[in-house]
Each structure stands twice: as C-alpha cells, then as structure tokens.
Amino acid sequence: MATMADFRTSEKSWWCPGCGDFGVLAALQKALVELATEPENVALVAGIGCSGKIGNYINSYNLHVVHGRSLPAAQAVKLANRELTVLAAGGDGDGFAIGMGHYMHALRRNVDITYVVMDNQIYGLTKGQTSPTSDGGFHTKSTPNGNIEKSVNQMQLAIASGCGFVANGLSSNQKQLVQIIKQAIQFPGFALVNTYSPCVTFNKVNTYDFYKSELVNVDEDPTYDRHDKFAAMKMLMEHNELVTGIIYEDPNSTRYEDLVKGFKPEGIVNQKWEVDDETWNKVLAQYK
Amino acid sequence: MLKEVCWQIGGEQGGGLDSTVEVFNTVASRAGYYVYAYKTFASRIKGGHTDFTTRLSTERVQAPAAGVNLLVTLDQESIDLCARNVYPGAIILADEAINAKLPEGIDAKLLTMPLNKLTLALGNPLMKNNLVLGASAAFLGMPIDGFKTYATTRWGNKGEEFVALIHKSMQEGYDYVVANWPELRLEIEEGDGKERLLMIGNEAAALGALAGGCRTVFSYPITPASEIAESLVKIFPKVGGVAVQMEDELASIVACIGAGFTGARAMTATAGPGISLMQEAMGLAAMTETPVVIVDTQRGGPSTGMPTKQEQSDLMALAYGGHGDSPRIVLAPGSVGELIPMTAEAFNLADNYHCPVLIASDLAIALFQQTVEPEEAKLSSMPQINRGPLANPEELAGLARDVFQRYSKQVNENGVSARSLPGIKNGQFLATGAEHGAFGKVTESAANRVYMMDRRMRRIQNVNTEAVRYFGSENADIVVIGFGTTVGAAKESIAEIEAATGKKAGVLQIRLIYPVPVAQIQAYVKGAKAMVVESNATGQFSFMLKGAGYNPANLYSLLKYDGTLITVEEIRNAAMAVLNGEGQYFVSGGGQGVRKAADPTITLAAQEA
Ligand SMILES: Cc1ncc(C[n+]2csc(CCOP(=O)(O)OP(=O)(O)O)c2C)c(N)n1
Ligand code: SF4
Ligand SMILES: [Mg+2]
C-alpha cells in the first residue's frame, strides 16, 4: 500500500514559505493514502497559477494545462479511463475567471472527478491582482481604490448548477480537509472541494487568522442536514460562503459515465479498438 | 443517350427540399450512377433561397458541372438565380402557380406543371416533392420503380397508406411529364447497377475515426463541421465510445489533450472560428507531446465570414497559428472517399509523432455528397491501428519510480520517445505546457531549452505519409497544384487544358499541407509551370511553398474567394493564360472570370518599397 512518501516528489517547492497550498497538497496526499490508491492510478490535472504548480509536488500522472482549462481535460481523462482516480486542481482565478465557462458545465455534466480549488481570493502568480473571489473594497495592485465588483459565490453556484457534492475546507485544518477530500473522491459524480488557502505574500486581509475567526463549521453542527439543498444555500448566503465542511451532498447522484449509451465499465484505453466487420458493415449500410 | 446529366432544384429554404434531394441522390446512386451533389444555402433555417444540384454520370464526377440540364423551380427567385447556369436548350420545370417568367436571353424551354393543384388533390402538402421526383425521373429516363422502392424502405414505418400515397404521387408526376411532353427527354445511359456508397465528407471523417480507433470526441457545433460529431454520437454506442458536446472549442481541444494524455484516441472537429480558439492549446499538445486529431472544415473567414460558403483560408492558422514555435502535421483530403482512410491514418500519425494532426477539410468536401467506391471504404484496407512508442508496463514495473523519462533523449527515428499512460506503474510524470526536462519537471535552463525545442520541431522533418498524388500526363508543360475540393475540378480540367492548348497537363494533389513536401513537389513538377489553385485571397499555400524554398519565379497561381467553388472552366482558362505567357497570378470569381492580378503573397508594403 502506498505511503505519504510514495505520493511526494523530490521537487523543491516554488511556493512561498507559509503558503496555504502546502496544506492542501498534504491533505490531498493523505487522503489518497487513506483511500489506498496507488500513484499510478491517480491523474491530476492542474491549471495555471501558484496553485497550479501542485502537480509538480505530487507523484501521480500530472497534466498541467493552459490557464483556466483544468476541468475539460480532467473530465476527458476520466472518460478515457474511468478506472482512474481523477482530480482537477487550481486557483480562484483559474477556476472562476478564465475557467468559469468550464466550471458551470462541469458542474451540470457530473463526470466523476474531484475538483480541488485553492482559493486565496487573489492572483498569486501574477503578483497580487484582484480575483473573482476577492471581497468588495479589497485593495490590490489592480484595484488600488478598492475592488468595486461583487465576488463570485462559487459554492452557491455549484449547488444551483446541480453539483452533488459541495464542500469547503481550510488548508490549515488538515484533519477536516483530509476527510472532505476522501469523501469527495468517493462521491459518484463531480465533487467540488473548495479550500481557503491563504496567500501569505499578497493577501494580508484573508489570512489564516481571518478564516479561523470567521468560518462556520457545519461538520460540527449535529443539527445540520447536508442532504438539504435549501439549508445549504441558506447557510452559504447567510455566512457569505465562510462555511467549512461538507455543505451539500446529493444522495441520488448519477455519474455522466453511467448515462452514456453503450459506455462500458472498463476504461476506453483498456479496450480493443479494432472494429469488427459486422459493426463496420452495419454503419456503412446507411450510406448505401 | 447522355453520359451525364445535371439536375438542379431551387426553392425556399426549410421547405423540405433537402429530403427530396436526398431521395433523388440515393436513388441515383443505387441505380449505379456516380453522384456529385452540391448546394447553395444560407445561414438561416427557414426562408431564403436554396438550391441543390446533382451531377450524375456513368463515370466518376467530382466537381460542379458546367451547366444544368434540368432545372426544377418552385419559386420565381430560383428561376432568376439559377436559370443563367443552364446549358443551352435545357429544360426548366416550374410550378404553374408561380406564373414563372424566364429572364431575357436565356436559351431554355420553360415548362409549367400544376404542382400546387396536384398536391392539393393528393391531400398532403408533402406530396409536392414526390410529384417533382416523379417528373424528374420521367425527364431523365430513370425508372420510377427505383424511387418507389426507396420510399417503401424509407417510410415503411409510417404505414402502408402513407407509402401508397407517396407511390401514387411519384407516379402522377411521372405520368404527367410522359403525357404532356412525350418528345422531351434528356435520357441518361443506364447506370451500371454496381453498389456504391454516397456520403458527405463529414460522414467519411466519422467513419475514418471509427476505423482509426477513436473513441472520444469533444466538440462544439459549428457549420460545416457538426455532422462529424453527430455521426459519431450515433455510432459510438456500438463500440463503447463517447462524444461530448463541450461548452466551447477551448474546452473541446483541451479535453482531447486530456483523453490523449490518458491514452485514448481523441478528436475534435471544428471550422475557422474554432481553430482560432484552439490555438493556445494546440501549443499545449505540442509542448506536452500529446497526440490529438483536429478536423477543420474550412469555410469563408475571417471572423464569422461566410459560414455556408467554400474557402480554404485556414492553412496558415493550421500550420503556424498560435504563439511560440510548435510542430503540427496538416493533411488535406482530395475527395470524400479519401477522407475515410486519411482520418484513420491521422490517429496513427498523432501517436507516432506526438503532436497535433490537423485535417484541412473544406466546406464542399464536408457537406457535399460524393460517390465513394466500396473499395475506398473497405475495412481491410484501412490503416492498421499503430500506437507508436509506448512504455512497456512490465518493464516499468520492474524499475523504481523516477527512473522512467517521458522526454528521454533516447528517441526513435521520428524523434519521439516512448510515452507512459496513467495506470502504468512507475510511469508517472508531469506533462506540462511549461518548458521542462526529461522527467517533465519545469526548467528554464538554456541548454535544455535548445534541446527541447529542437526535439519538438525535428519530428516533423520527415513525416511518413503519402504527401502528394500525381494525375495526368508525364512530362507535363503545366502542373496544377491543388488540395481539398479543388482537386476534383483540377483532375477534370486536365483533358480540357490539353484539348485547348495542345500541351500536356498534370495535377499534383497535395495531401500533406504541412510540413510542405517541397522536394516531392519539385520532383513532380520538374521543368513544368506550377500553378497553385486555392480558395483564398492571399495565396496561402503559395506563400508556404515559397517559404519552404520553392522557386517563386516558377510559381503561378489561381485564387478564388467569392464563396463559390473553383470550376473546371476557370482552371482551364487560367492554365491557358499561363501557358500563353499572359501572366503569373490570376484570380476569378465575384461575377467575373479569370483575370490577372498582382502577387497576393507579397505584402503591399513590400510592393511599394
Ligand atoms: C491565457 C493566460 N492569461 C493570463 C495568464 C497569466 N496568469 C497566470 S496565473 C494567473 C492568475 C492566477 O490566479 P489564481 O488562479 O487565483 O492562482 P493563484 O496564483 O492565486 O494560485 C494569470 C492571470 C496566463 N498564464 N494565461
Ligand atoms: S504568492 Fe501567495 S499563493 Fe503564490 S506561493 Fe506565494 S503565498 Fe502562495
Ligand atoms: Mg488565487
């Protein structure tokens, strides 16, 4: 069985000391170990950003795509070989600015992948511009007079768009985050794992302390029913998405893969692709 | 008895004309005729003029006819627009109800038939089309039974009564013509009865994908590419594949890269606007050395351009588009039939050269029905699936992790090294669009950069594929160079050029657009005059040829960019002008014939300097 060491790489980290992404990476590795997955059976597709570098630090099959497009690639990886554990990962800009067009559709398509967002409410790699999840009034290099746009509510959006698993973690709360990621991977369909992953260099407002004092943890609330969509929406709205835990889970999720006509349980890559004469002739017959 | 006839029908878009034409073409094909069917249509669903033309012949035909023998018109607009293209003495059949008038100066017989009245009597508006089919069969001397048989199989599920009504309508149309114009006949020689296939290029591409082992398609609807995915979504349940309609082309191409990285054979199909959106990710495929196949059904550009009109103006975008330097392979089919094995082969090339393989189809190949010989669609003659260099799972299992180098310097003769696929133990690596070293880890070392750039570009120096095909006379005085739809007209022009000039002519079909097979082109052209015929305004292929070192002094060109197909007559006229020494560069179209032009591949600034 694989250990933490098996999921680590020798690559020296490019992340700043204290960056939230370290915690997300560690929790992800721990979850994979606890689920008894092997590195060769994990495919991780990452976007562009500081967060997108996560693939450099995890020993798995890693595809580092262009900015904003981790989701289309990750869904296709799963469709090409559904026997794999498929993860997508990236930042708030990657997912909800340039990649927003893909996010919406991955949510409603429900391919069985897990999407881990490292939300630091800022653009890290480009050195501190506003992000779609930045709060109103937030001062950045591109909003010197304060952000005058409203922020994206990615978790409410997910629920509204039919996503069956919506969770949020804090990178420093390892115990909870590991549990969340494990359940997300086991969920039969598209699972959103948003994480607050502080950028210690460019975001001096949304810090570890900020999140610790603001976050409401639904996992610790015995009265909270995660299968209740309306309660989930209310919770997210009331607390401006500063909620952690598994916020919504659909007990009746059906994977996209299970709805594709004629789709087989065996991964496409492991099938024989040669067409037999009978099939070929049947197809040709319509052109006669 | 005629060896070939050209039948045309014009009316309002959305009025069911397309299914009438489908019946006509299928029946003609089943009777053993070769069919080439083309159409004029607009980017709207209902209303507006549309016309369909079918050239049927006892010999292979692959280009528009020079004229029309029988024109069936359902409105005056169709007469106004189409009557100019009829052969002298042609028959124009119109609905009596439209009070048809023939424009002045047209040598044709205008006949009217009470289509509306007869349709009313039959009690079903759909029957007008069947009356038309019956009447057409009578004029062309095609047995009406072929039409009836087709109707029985096609609409049998709608009940005996309905089929009987169709039969009755076809017969009435047929009998009306026989009774009223017993002398007027355009009889075509009997077809040879051989069973052939009739399909559009998009269907051929889908068949090629099926044969080539493609089981994942990610695309976004666009004219004229949509039928590729629409065909595969019907086929895939039989073989366990999946065709996903993505949210856009950005997603489509990146999804193909994801599937390709995983080891599946993936394809996307699009047209110019989609190609523009895919450029960034084509670089990603090249950088990560991931196989992907992209079909581009070129249409009038730039921007929205002319979505329903023919053009071949994406060549530059396909070969050189996007930022940075990256390898691609660009193929072009010369007919619908050729697209079947070519698409299958594209997947082998992608797996062996580890870079994007693009197929430069064009609107007329994509959407116009052509006869396909059964031999061209034989499963046993399709390229065998060849996965290219793959890591051996047993071998890797015996190694430790971090030993396998995805971007190893041990490359094969194509300049690529084996790839590992997710699921293979100890094959884990990072595939990244950032510059990287042997294990895929990011590095910006200058020496590594030079190695990696050379490694990527070197692979397309020698692409092993049938790059060109030559037709016509040996030691020709003029060689017409073409690709895509233009090849059909070029081939038919050989005899006409030779008859008109007394000189020898040949056609060199370019199947590998990029990397430009310049040495092979030179070897075929030898001392002849080379005339490139392409459907674009800037002579894109000529430009690429010059860039590849072809002697510009011996490069002649004929361009057309008005949205219509290049005709046999235009190629002949341009070839005559070239052989007479009248000029080097010619354009045609836009209501004018072939005329001299300046070298379009030289920028205005350079000309002024
Ligand atoms: C097409 C394109 N546009 C812009 C960029 C520049 N860019 C790189 S990362 C990034 C934003 C990163 O922000 P986020 O996704 O939040 O990731 P973080 O660095 O904060 O983890 C941008 C704009 C790019 N790489 N590609
Ligand atoms: S800039 Fe911010 S997000 Fe990027 S590595 Fe540093 S702390 Fe992390
Ligand atoms: Mg960010």
Residue-range domains of chain B with CATH: 4-180 (3.40.920.10), 198-381 (3.40.50.970), 468-608 (3.40.50.920)
pLDDT at residue B40 greater than cutoff 90: no
pLDDT higher than threshold 60 for residue B280: yes
**How many domains in chain A?**
1
Work out the angle at residue A87's Cα, subtended by the Cα atoms of residues A83 and A92, and round it to the nearest 5 degrees. Answer: 160
Rounded Cα distance between B265 and B390, Å, is 14
Contacts of residues B572-578 at CB distance under 8 Å and 24 or more positions apart, as own/partner, are B572/B493, B572/B496, B572/B497, B572/B500, B574/B531, B574/B533, B575/B478, B575/B480, B575/B493, B575/B497, B575/B501, B575/B505, B575/B531, B576/B497, B576/B500, B576/B501, B578/B478, B578/B529, B578/B531
Among protein residues, the one whose CA lies closest to atom 5 of ligand 2: A15
C-alpha of residue B316 to centroid of ligand 1, in Å: 29
Question: Ligand 1: residues whose CB is within 6 Å?
Answer: A 48-51, 67, 90-94, 118, 120, 122-126, 131
User: Which among A40, A101, A262 is the nearest to B428, CB-wise?
Assistant: A40
Round to whole Å and give the CA distance between B213 and B103: 54
* Chain B residues close to A39, C-beta within 8 Å: 401, 428
Tokens 């591409």 identify what position?
B205
B235 to chain A: which residues are within 8 Å by CB? 283
Interchain contact, A102 vs B251, CB within 8 Å: yes
Tokens at B116, concatenated: 């509306």
The confidence score (pLDDT) of residue B185 equals: 85
The pLDDT, as a whole number, for residue A171 is 98
Question: Distance, CA A43 to ligand 3 centroid (Å)?
Answer: 22
CB-closest option in B197, B240, B424 to A262: B240
pLDDT band at residue B16 using 50, 70 and 90 as cut-offs: confident
Does the CB of A209 have a partner CB in chain B at under 8 Å?
no
Instruction: Please check the confidence at residue B416 and state whether its pLDDT lies above 80.
Output: yes
Is A271 part of the contact surface with chain B (CB cutoff 8 Å)? Answer: yes
**From ligand 2's centre to the CA of B433, what distance in Å?**
20
Render pLDDT for B445-477 as a digit per residue (tens, 0 to 9). 999 999 999 999 999 999 999 999 999 999 999
- C-alpha distance from A146 to closest chain B C-alpha (Å): 32
φ, ψ at B360 (rounded to 5°): -85, 85
CB-side neighbour CA atoms (13 Å) of A204: 3
Cβ–Cβ gap B425/A76 under 8 Å: no
Q: Is A24 helix (H, G, I), strand (E, B) or coil?
A: helix
Q: For B89-140, how does the pLDDT look when each residue is reduced to its tens digit (9 = 90+)?
A: 999 999 999 999 999 999 999 999 999 999 999 999 999 999 999 999 999 9
Distance, in Å, from the CA atom of B122 to the CA atom of B128, rounded to the nearest integer, reads: 9
Both tokens of B262, joined, read 């995983």
Letter for the amino acid at B28? A
- Sorting pLDDT into bands at 50, 70 and 90, what band is B608? low
H-helix or E-strand containing B431?
A: strand B430-432
Average pLDDT (B365-379) is 97
Q: How far apart are CA A174 and CA B591, in angstroms?
A: 73
Complex ipTM over 0.95: yes
- Give dist(CA B14, CA B50) in Å, integer: 9
pLDDT digits 0-9 by tens, B201-223 = 999 999 999 999 999 999 999 99
CA of A227, closest CA in chain B: separation in Å? 29
Rounded (to 5) percent helix, strand, coil in chain B: 40, 20, 35
Share of chain B above pLDDT 70, in %: 99
Mean pLDDT (whole number) for B175-182: 95
Mutate to test the pocket of ligand 1, among A94, A134, A199, A201 (most ligand atoms within 8 A of CB): A94
Q: Is A163 close to ligand 2, i.e. is its CB under 6 Å away?
A: no
Extract the residue ranges of chain A whose pLDDT is less than 70.
Answer: none
Beta-carbon contacts of residue A244 (< 8 Å; ≥ 6 apart): A168, A169, A170, A173, A176, A196, A215, A216, A217, A218, A219
Q: What confidence tens digit (pLDDT) does each residue in B337-356 have?
A: 999 999 999 999 999 999 99
The pLDDT-based confidence of B607 (bands split at 50, 70, 90) is low
Chain A nearest C-alpha distance from B498 (Å): 36
Whether residue A84 contacts residue B422, with contact meaning beta carbons closer than 8 Å, is answered with yes
Token readout for B142 is: 């095609």
Cα A199 to middle of ligand 1, angstroms: 14
Task: Give me the half-sphere count of Cα atoms (radius 13 Å) on the Cβ side of residue B472.
Answer: 30
According to DSSP, residue B97 is labeled: G
Average pLDDT for B266-292? 98
Q: Phi first, then psi: what are they for B94, rounded to 5°?
A: -130, 160
Residue A128 Cα, ligand 2 centroid: separation in angstroms?
9
The pLDDT score that the predictor gives to residue B14 is 80
Residue of B nearest to A54 (CA): B430
Q: Model confidence at B603, in pLDDT bands (50, 70, 90)? A: low
Over its C-alpha atoms, chain A yields an Rg (Å, rounded) of 20
- Choose from B428, B429, B443 for mutation: most chain A CBs within 10 A: B428
pLDDT digits (tens, 9 = 90+) for B526-553: 999 999 999 999 999 999 999 999 999 9
Is the distance from the beta carbon of residue A118 to the nearest atom of ligand 2 less than 6 Å? no
Mean pLDDT across chain B:
96
pLDDT attached to residue B400: 96
Q: Could A72 and B284 be called an inter-chain contact, meaning their C-beta atoms sit closer than 8 Å? A: no
Q: Is the CB of A241 under 6 A from ligand 2?
A: no
Beta strands (DSSP E) in B61-192 are 68-73, 86-95, 108-113
**What Rg, from alpha-carbon coordinates, does chain B have?**
26
Interface test with B, best of A12, A29, A32, A40 (most B CBs within 10 A): A40
Range of the domain at A78: 4-285
* pLDDT level of residue B609 (50, 70, 90 thresholds): low
Between CA B22 and CA B3 the distance in angstroms is 22
B605: pLDDT strictly greater than 80: no
Neighbouring residues of B149: CB distance < 8 A, sequence distance ≥ 6: none
What is the pLDDT averaged over residues B3-23?
91
Kindly state the tokens that stand for B107: 């040598």
Report helix angle A100-109 to A70-80, nearest 10: 30
Alpha-carbon dihedral B410, B415, B421, B427, rounded to 10 degrees: 20
Chain A hits for B263, Cβ within 8 Å: 80-81, 269
Task: Identify the burial level of A216 via C-beta atoms within 10 angstroms of its C-beta, where 0-12 means exposed, 13-18 middle and 19 or more buried.
Answer: middle
Atom nearest to A131 CA in ligand 1: 16
> What does pTM read for this prediction?
0.97
Cα A123 to averaged position of ligand 1 atoms, centre (Å): 7
Query: Which residues partner with B587 through β-bridges?
Result: B559, B595
Residues 6+ apart with CB under 8 A from A253: A110, A164, A165, A187, A188, A189
Question: Mutate which of A14, A42, A69, A110 to test chain B, going by most B C-beta atoms within 10 A?
Answer: A69
CATH code, domain carrying A65: 3.40.50.970
Q: Find the CB nearest B236 among A83, A262, A287.
A: A262
Residue B200 confidence (pLDDT) above 70: yes
Exposed, middle or buried: residue B53 (CB in 10 Å: 0-12, 13-18, 19+)?
buried
A207 lines ligand 2 (CB under 6 A): no
